[in-house]
């Protein structure tokens, strides 16, 4: 499979295909969607197929003889994986450092309904999705060479999605990804200097302030002070917590509610703009630096210029206070609708 190359000197990794590999980055699909019910045989077998029956959830998986039908959430290996467990053992040294891009790349199909967006599925269905993420994260951390489990959504062509059917990606790495390393390092430094977690301080600064979007019992959603993208927003657990795999059932249900309400509000306010959503979990391996886990959502409304690409200076034409006002009213309306219905 692919190689993970590191920059000559910078801490940046890039996954490139092997020279022998004819990898098509832009897959062209025929009319049928491999993630739709009825097309299960077009994907790898499901490691989890969650089936709701008589008000109970059954956690099943495909076998050679039997493919599970009538699932509400389905997880299987990606057929265009960023990383793979079949990688051969080819390494090279600095400054041309390369290692096998080793890991698991799973697809989590979030609804059997092709046309239901993540901003439209029910709160209960979001809770099912989160339950399955928690299950997979726990399992993946027991596997060899899994140092970090990343979970993310690409929604819309411009956000990198090749398939429209609502789904999430779960990708593991044998090293901690650079962005998590940067956040964990900064958080560690802040804690040493101030004796408290930076995220906990941010939550107390942003609660009830001009950048707050929505607050629930356990979570706060807000536009960050210095957002990279217009209308970017974050969701943080209010309680200091580093392990997503240990959050309680009640916190899970509440997370489903705030995710559904904010994505629904964003989708209406920004006319279904493409977006990326990333779960920034703390690394769960022993001795690794921890972060207060959170979710970041990046709407993709315009392309970057040379300033962003070449200098790392971001120009954001929407003040986060304005973004919070727009998203806040849309998300509060969405939440009222959801709570009213359920
Ligand atoms: Zn589909
Ligand atoms: Zn904290
Ligand atoms: Zn983060």
Whole-prediction pTM: 0.94
Query: What pLDDT band is residue 316 in, cutting at 50, 70 and 90?
Result: very high
Which ligand minimizes its atom distance to the CA of 167? 1
Domain shared by 95 and 223, yes or no: no
Which ligand minimizes its atom distance to the CA of 114? 1
Domain shared by 248 and 187, yes or no: yes
Domain shared by 105 and 192, yes or no: no
Alpha-carbon 204 to chain mean position? 25
Domain shared by 200 and 337, yes or no: yes
Give the number of C-alpha atoms closer than 13 A to the C-alpha of residue 82, restricted to the C-beta side. Answer: 18
**What's the CA gap between 54 and 56, in Å, rounded?**
5
1-5, 313-317, 332-336: least confidently modelled range: 1-5
- Residue 112 Cα to ligand 1 midpoint, Å, equals 7
Q: Calculate mean pLDDT across residues 92-96.
A: 91
Domain shared by 83 and 232, yes or no: no
Which ligand minimizes its atom distance to the CA of 113? 1
> Which CA distances in Å does 252 have to 29, 146, 203, 294, 297?
35, 24, 19, 13, 18
Query: pLDDT value at position 232?
Result: 98
Query: pLDDT value at position 26?
Result: 47
Domain shared by 112 and 196, yes or no: no
Domain shared by 236 and 302, yes or no: yes
Query: pLDDT value at position 309?
Result: 95
Query: pLDDT value at position 22?
Result: 56
Final residue belonging to a domain, choices 159, 178, 197: 178
Query: pLDDT value at position 54?
Result: 87
pLDDT single digits (tens) 144-155: 999 999 999 999
Which ligand minimizes its atom distance to the CA of 187? 2
Exposure string of 220-256, with b = 16+ CB inside 10 Å and e = fewer, is bbbbbeebebbbbbbbbbbeebbebbebeeebbbbbb
Which ligand minimizes its atom distance to the CA of 277? 3
Domain shared by 237 and 144, yes or no: no
Which ligand minimizes its atom distance to the CA of 166? 1
Judged against a pLDDT cut of 60, whether residue 315 lies above it is answered with yes
Query: pLDDT value at position 203?
Result: 97
- Residue 295 Cα to ligand 3 midpoint, Å, equals 7
Which ligand minimizes its atom distance to the CA of 74? 1
Which ligand minimizes its atom distance to the CA of 183? 3
- Residue 24 Cα to ligand 3 midpoint, Å, equals 30
Which ligand minimizes its atom distance to the CA of 294? 3
Top pLDDT among 91 and 253 is at: 253
- Residue 167 Cα to ligand 1 midpoint, Å, equals 10
Judged against a pLDDT cut of 70, whether residue 20 lies above it is answered with no
Query: pLDDT value at position 307?
Result: 95
Domain shared by 86 and 229, yes or no: no
Query: What pLDDT band is residue 74 in, cutting at 50, 70 and 90?
Result: very high
Which alpha helices (H) appear in the chain, and where do they start and end? 123-140, 178-194, 198-206, 249-269, 306, 320-341
| CATH classification at residue 10 | 3.30.428.10
Judged against a pLDDT cut of 80, whether residue 254 lies above it is answered with yes
- Residue 256 Cα to ligand 2 midpoint, Å, equals 20
pLDDT single digits (tens) 192-204: 999 999 999 999 9
Q: Calculate mean pLDDT across residues 220-242.
A: 97
- Residue 151 Cα to ligand 1 midpoint, Å, equals 20
Judged against a pLDDT cut of 90, whether residue 31 lies above it is answered with no
DSSP helix, strand, coil percent of the chain (3-state; round to 5): 30, 20, 50
Domain shared by 174 and 197, yes or no: no
Residue 210's domain comprises: 180-341
**What's the CA gap between 173 and 86, in Å, rounded?**
14
Domain shared by 20 and 145, yes or no: yes
**What's the CA gap between 198 and 288, in Å, rounded?**
17
Q: Calculate mean pLDDT across residues 1-27.
A: 78
Final residue belonging to a domain, choices 160, 178, 196: 178
Residues, CB within 5 angstroms of ligand 1 (ion) = 33, 35-36, 114, 165
- Residue 42 Cα to ligand 2 midpoint, Å, equals 43
- Residue 34 Cα to ligand 2 midpoint, Å, equals 40
Q: Calculate mean pLDDT across residues 280-297.
A: 90
pLDDT single digits (tens) 35-58: 999 999 999 999 999 999 888 999
- Residue 139 Cα to ligand 1 midpoint, Å, equals 26
Q: Calculate mean pLDDT across residues 89-108.
A: 92
**What's the CA gap between 186 and 171, in Å, rounded?**
24
- Residue 158 Cα to ligand 1 midpoint, Å, equals 18
Judged against a pLDDT cut of 90, whether residue 90 lies above it is answered with no
Final residue belonging to a domain, choices 178, 194, 227: 178
195-198 CB contacts, 8 Å cutoff, 24+ apart: 197/240, 197/292, 198/292
Query: pLDDT value at position 17?
Result: 85
Structural domain count of the chain: 2
Write out the H or E segment, with its range, that includes residue 122.
none
- Residue 42 Cα to ligand 1 midpoint, Å, equals 11
- Residue 268 Cα to ligand 3 midpoint, Å, equals 25
User: Please, what is the average pLDDT of the chain?
Assistant: 93
**What's the CA gap between 102 and 104, in Å, rounded?**
7
């Amino acid at each position: 499979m692919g190689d993970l190359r590191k920059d000559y000197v910078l801490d940046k990794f890039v996954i490139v295909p092997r020279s022998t590999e004819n990898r098509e980055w832009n897959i062209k699909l025929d009319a049928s969607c491999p993630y739709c019910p009825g097309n299960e045989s077009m994907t790898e077998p499901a490691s989890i197929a969650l089936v709701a029956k008589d008000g109970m959830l059954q956690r099943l998986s495909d076998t050679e003889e039997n493919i599970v039908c009538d699932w509400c959430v389905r997880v299987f290996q990606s057929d265009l994986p960023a990383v793979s467990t079949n990688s051969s053992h080819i390494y090279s040294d600095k400054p041309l450092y390369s290692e096998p891009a080793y890991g698991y790349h799973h697809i989590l199909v979030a609804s059997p309904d092709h046309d239901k967006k993540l901003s439209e599925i029910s709160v209960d269905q979001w809770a099912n999705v989160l339950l399955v993420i928690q299950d997979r994260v726990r399992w993946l951390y027991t596997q060899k060479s899994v140092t970090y489990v990343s979970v993310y959504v690409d929604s819309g062509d411009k956000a990198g999605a090749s398939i429209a059917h609502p789904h999430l990606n779960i990708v593991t790495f044998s090293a901690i990804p650079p962005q998590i390393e940067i956040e964990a390092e900064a958080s560690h430094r802040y804690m040493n200097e101030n004796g408290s977690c930076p995220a906990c301080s941010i939550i107390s600064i942003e609660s009830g302030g001009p950048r707050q979007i929505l607050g629930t019992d356990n979570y706060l959603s807000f536009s960050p002070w210095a957002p990279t993208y217009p209308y970017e927003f974050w969701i943080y657990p209010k309680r200091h917590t580093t392990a997503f795999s240990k959050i309680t059932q009640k916190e899970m249900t509440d997370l489903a509610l705030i995710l559904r309400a904010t994505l629904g509000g964003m989708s209406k306010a920004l006319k279904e703009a493409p977006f990326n959503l990333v779960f920034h979990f703390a690394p769960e391996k022993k001795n690794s630096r921890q972060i207060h886990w959170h979710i970041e959502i990046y709407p993709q409304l315009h392309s970057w210029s040379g300033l962003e690409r070449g200098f790392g200076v971001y120009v954001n034409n929407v003040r986060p206070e304005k973004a919070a006002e727009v998203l806040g009213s849309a998300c509060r309306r969405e939440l009222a609708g959801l709570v009213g219905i359920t």
